[in-house]
Amino acid sequence: MSNDPLVIFTPSGKRGRFPVGTPILTAARQLGVDLDSVCGGRGICSKCQITPSCGEFPKHGVTVADTALSGWNAVEERYDQKRGLPKGRRLGCQATVQGDVVIDVPPESQVHRQVVRKRAEVREITLNPTIRLACVEVEQPDMHKPTGDLERLRAALRAATGQDSIGFDRHLLRDLQPTLRKGNWQVTAALHQPRDDADPSVVALWPGFFEGPLYGLAVDLGSTTIAGHLCNLSTGEVVASAGLMNPQIRFGEDLMSRVSYAMMNKGGDLEMTDAVRAGLNQLVTDITAEAGADRSAILDTVFVMNPVMHHLFLGIDPFELGQAPFALATSDALSLMARDLGLSIAPGTRAYILPCIAGHVGADAAGVALSEAPDQSEDLVLVVDVGTNAEILLGDKRGVLACSSPTGPAFEGAQISAGQRAAPGAIERVEIDPVTKEPRFRVIGSDLWSDDDGFDAAIAATGVTGICGSGIIEVIAEMRMAGLVDASGLIGSAEQTGSLRCFADGRTHSYRLWDGSADHGPITVTNGDIRAIQMAKAALYSGARLLMDKRGVNKVDRVVLAGAFGAHISAKHAMVLGMIPDCPLDKVTSAGNAAGTGARIALLNRSARDQIETLVGRIEKIETAVEPRFQEHFVNASALPNASDPFAILRSVVDLPDPSFNTGGGDSGAGGRRRRRRG
């Protein structure tokens, strides 16, 4: 065995023997330790910071003397004076091995560090972006060795990165010579490497040493809203988030009306392409202003969206998506130049669009799949992205199925008599006392319930303006639990329900949720509202049920509600309505904007792009429109919660009366129950 000193790196545990005088950065590279370097070991970038430890390390079987590393040198001294090195830190490219040593690589010096995600139950993101910086010294021109400046730059980058072949964006050629001379033959290149095994290309160039920051933009391009996260590509941190309404709304609220607009108006598709691209440029303006960042520092972008938005963003007529067999122009992931998508960022900025799963299941569902990873789940998980079109995934390690279901806009408050978008003043939470049938509610913008002291003062500015999507689900579920609505979705009369809040409204009955004020009339729930929600939730459930049929199961282990709306739905109320299959309430979780999270993962970790492309190729797609059992499931799922599925787990924890107002029968089942606790 060699007598060379032993170098042990933590947290990786990698170890090896190296001759005295070996720089720690060299040892790290030879062992494959994740230690960053932009300047190639010239003491400029400080990315290679390490923390040496002294003393006894029985676990590693070494004793480390305080002379285990070379002394503090002039380069470190200069760096410390100019920029400051944290106490205990050394520059890995300057400190050399003198004896056995244990070296800790702090997270900020790791290229592939973990980015912490907020939810505890999900995996962390490994940082492995497509963009890296490399600062190199370029050989100066020599009349005796006539080579071009670009060729010498490439040679320097090949030596610094160990890559055999380095591409170079043509748009940089014009400024190459002044940049090299301005930097006195030192330049920093931004290298874009789309895959671990792809050749990198220079996409931006700065004279001298440039340390960023550089940014990436992850965008969830929804039909109603466009949401973006601006991320620092070297830390993974989200530095700003912004959202705006999709300007295409003026061509139609929902996707099919936009497809119709394109069909009925020559050039209408391109008008919508221009509108969405203008919206994205506005998003870039807003988000960079919020972060105090320069838009030219955004060098990578990732997009997720549904198939219609996908086509309109790319400038493709969505005509074929409006009719069977719903053929996509392309379903593969796309790697493009952002400028070719009309985005004014930097000329070399790249754009990656996740693959679409099927004609109705888009790149947004692929983003959800990347974020929630049903393919890596031990238990069978149903992931539902609730929007105007529900996109549904069912799977585990054995395989994943996907479909979409046309839920329509009812869950967003459209088609509801008092419905409105989630905005201050909208009723978002509702409770109905099962004995007195009296409601109380909360509106967006106040934490007080309507029967709390001070409620009127708290909502004086906004008033009570309507019911948003989560509010309508709660109120109908509460009405069902209080015996005001029967299993068929019929609201009972005052006599049948024992509540004067139920009143005849044409041929059916309505329920008065709020008596109104001087400025605003009463807010009621009509039987038409309940029908609209029944249709939407039956479509959602039937899609999920079809996937369960394909998988040969009658139950799922857990349910994940994704989408901004999913974040606000209460699991209990969703299940009382039969929106989702019966399962323990504590197994229903919300993933928030999982599609946007998927975009962020693909932005920060280029390996995730391979993962999702492989997974999408393996997902079994189910087209609900041609499945004979869809209609049967739909009819059963129109009941509250369901005509054929007993929802036994739900009924074991929730008192669910089963009157039928049509036959005039039934005890409401609510009598004698106590008022539920608040909150």
- As a whole number of angstroms, the distance between CA 391 and CA 385 comes to 5
Site string for ligand FES, 578-617 (x = CB under 6 A): ----------------------------------------
Stretch that binds ligand FES, among 50-58, 87-95, 312-320, 363-371 (CB under 6 A): 87-95
Residue with tokens 């720089």: 23
Query: Which CB, 111 or 334, lies closer to ligand FES?
Result: 111
Confirm or reject binding of residue 141 to ligand FES (CB under 6 A): no
Find the helix or strand (DSSP H, E) in which 478 lies. helix 469-481
- Verify binding: residue 44, ligand FES, rule CB under 6 A: yes
The reply to whether 91 sits near ligand FES by the rule CB under 6 A is yes
Beta carbon nearer to ligand FES, 40 or 419: 40
Give me the least distance between CB of 93 and ligand FES, in Å please.
3
Residues for the chain: how many in total?
Answer: 679
Query: How far apart, in whole angstroms, are the C-alpha atoms of residue 175 and residue 443?
Result: 57
* Alpha-carbon gap, residue 448 to 441, rounded angstroms: 9
| Residue 553 near residue 410, CB atoms below 8 Å | no
Q: How far is the CB of 100 from ligand FES (least distance, A)?
A: 22
Name every residue whose Cβ is closer than 8 Å to that of residue 534 and which is 6 or more positions away in sequence.
489, 638, 640
- Closest CB to ligand FES among 207 and 522? 207
CB of 41 or CB of 466, closer to ligand FES: 41
Listed ranges 39-47, 255-263, 416-424, 551-559: which one lies at the site for ligand FES (CB under 6 A): 39-47
Q: Which of 14, 15, 47, 90 binds ligand FES (CB under 6 A)?
A: 47
Q: How far is CA 134 from CA 38, 43, 107, 206, in A?
A: 5, 13, 20, 10
CB 183 within 8 A of CB 267: no
Is residue 610 a contact partner of residue 195, using CB atoms and an 8 Å limit?
Answer: yes
If the CB atoms of residues 46 and 638 are measured against ligand FES, the closer one turns out to be 46
Q: Which is nearer to ligand FES, 52 or 598 (CB)?
A: 52
Per CB under 6 A, which region of 35-43, 80-88, 239-247, 408-416 contacts ligand FES? 35-43
Nearer to ligand FES, 47 or 132 (CB): 47
544: contact with ligand FES by CB under 6 A: no
**Parallel, antiparallel, or unpaired: how do β-strands 466-467 and 426-432 relate?**
parallel
Give the pair of three-digit tokens for residue 189.
């290149």
Could you give phi then psi for residue 522, rounded to 5 degrees? -65, 155
Nearest to 531 by CA among 582, 481, 488, 477: 488
- Closest contact distance (angstroms) between CB of 23 and ligand FES is 9
Question: For ligand FES, which stretch binds (CB under 6 A), given 12-20, 40-48, 167-175, 205-213?
Answer: 40-48
Q: How many residues bind ligand FES (CB under 6 A)?
A: 14
Q: Which stretch binds ligand FES (CB under 6 A): 56-64, 88-96, 454-462, 531-539?
A: 88-96
For the CB of residue 186, give the shortest distance to ligand FES in the complex, in Å: 13
CA 38, CA 187: separation in Å to the nearest integer?
A: 11
Q: Any contact of residue 670 with ligand FES (CB under 6 A)? A: no
Q: How far apart are CA 593 and CA 368, in angstroms?
A: 8
Closest approach, Cβ 176 to ligand FES, in A, equals 23
Burial class, 191, CB count within 10 angstroms (exposed 0-12 / middle 13-18 / buried 19+): buried
Indicate whether 46 belongs to the interface with ligand FES (CB under 6 A). Answer: yes
Q: How near is the Cβ of 391 to ligand FES at its closest, in Å?
A: 45
CB 490 within 8 A of CB 528: no
Beta strands at 558-562 and 381-385: parallel, antiparallel or unpaired: parallel
CB of 197 to ligand FES, least distance (A): 25
Binding of residue 96 to ligand FES (CB under 6 A) = no
The minimum distance between CB 252 and ligand FES, in angstroms, equals 54
Give me the least distance between CB of 49 and ligand FES, in Å please. Answer: 8
Pick the closest to residue 358 from 561, 616, 557 (CA basis). Answer: 616
Q: Which stretch binds ligand FES (CB under 6 A): 43-51, 479-487, 520-528, 616-624?
A: 43-51
Q: Tell me the sheet residues that pair with 303.
A: 219, 353
Question: CB of residue 182 vs ligand FES: minimum separation in angstroms?
Answer: 21
Give CB contacts under 8 A, 24+ apart, made by 500-503.
501/437, 501/438, 501/439
Whole-angstrom distance, CA of residue 526 vs CA of residue 485: 11
Helix and strand element counts for the chain (H, E): 17, 31
Nearer to ligand FES, 92 or 641 (CB): 92
Asked if residue 39 binds ligand FES (CB under 6 A), the reply is: yes
For ligand FES, the closer CB: 85 or 239: 85
Compute the Cα dihedral for 15, 17, 23, 26 and give only its sign. negative
Shortest Å, Cβ 443 to ligand FES: 55
Q: What phi and psi values does residue 288 have, to the nearest 5 degrees?
A: -75, -35
- 165 exposure class (CB count in 10 Å sphere: 0-12, 13-18, 19+): exposed
CB of 45 to ligand FES, least distance (A): 4
Q: Name which position in 6, 8, 33, 48 contacts ligand FES (CB under 6 A).
A: 48
Q: What is the dihedral of CA 266, 272, 274, 278, to 10 degrees?
A: 160
**37 versus 446: smaller Cβ distance to ligand FES:** 37
Q: How far is the CB of 38 from ligand FES (least distance, A)?
A: 6
Q: How far is the CB of 24 from ligand FES (least distance, A)?
A: 9
> Which of 25, 556 has the CB closer to ligand FES?
25
Q: Is 41 in the site for ligand FES (CB under 6 A)?
A: yes
Shortest CB 71 distance to ligand FES, Å: 17
Q: How far is the CB of 75 from ligand FES (least distance, A)?
A: 8
Which of 17, 43, 282, 448: binder of ligand FES (CB under 6 A)? Answer: 43
Asked if residue 318 lies in contact with residue 308, where contact means CB atoms within 8 angstroms, the answer is: yes
Q: Is 2 helix (H, G, I), strand (E, B) or coil?
A: coil
Helix (H) or strand (E) holding 571: helix 571-576
DSSP secondary structure letters along 254-310 = SHHHHHHHHHHSTTHHHHHHHHHHHHHHHHHHHHHHHHT--GGGEEEEEEEE-HHHH
Binders of ligand FES among residues 15 to 34 (CB under 6 A) are 25
Q: Find the binder of ligand FES among 45, 187, 190, 291 (CB under 6 A).
A: 45
Residue from the set 6, 93, 299, 314 that interacts with ligand FES by CB under 6 A: 93
Q: Which residue is nearest to ligand FES (CB)?
A: 93
Residue at 480: amino acid letter: R
Binding site for ligand FES (CB under 6 A): 25, 37-39, 41, 43-48, 91-93
